[in-house]
Structure 1
Amino acid sequence: MNFLFVALGGAVGAMARYAISLIPLKTEFPFLTLITNVVFCIFAGIL
């Protein structure tokens, strides 16, 4: 069952990072990817 949760979390995270990457930024550092990862880590920690 844990494998299913990890796979589902990875899929949702990948889709979220891809969707966020479509927003154009003028910086070289991927700030939006960092923010997405932090938000999902906090969300996973709450669950």
Structure 2
Amino acid sequence: MAIVLQFDFKHKGPWGKVKANNLKTHAESITREPGFIWKIWTENSKT
């Protein structure tokens, strides 16, 4: 069974490449979770 899990949370910045670099270690650790297949990171600086 496929499951899609989405998290939305408020974030005051930084955005773009700075944000991506700051969260790289966290993103890499998520990929080591059992059964994990893929992830998509999105951002919306206006919300």
Scaled by the length of structure 1, the TM-score of the pair is 0.38
Higher helix share: 1
RCO higher in 1 or 2 (8 Å CA, sep ≥ 6)? 2
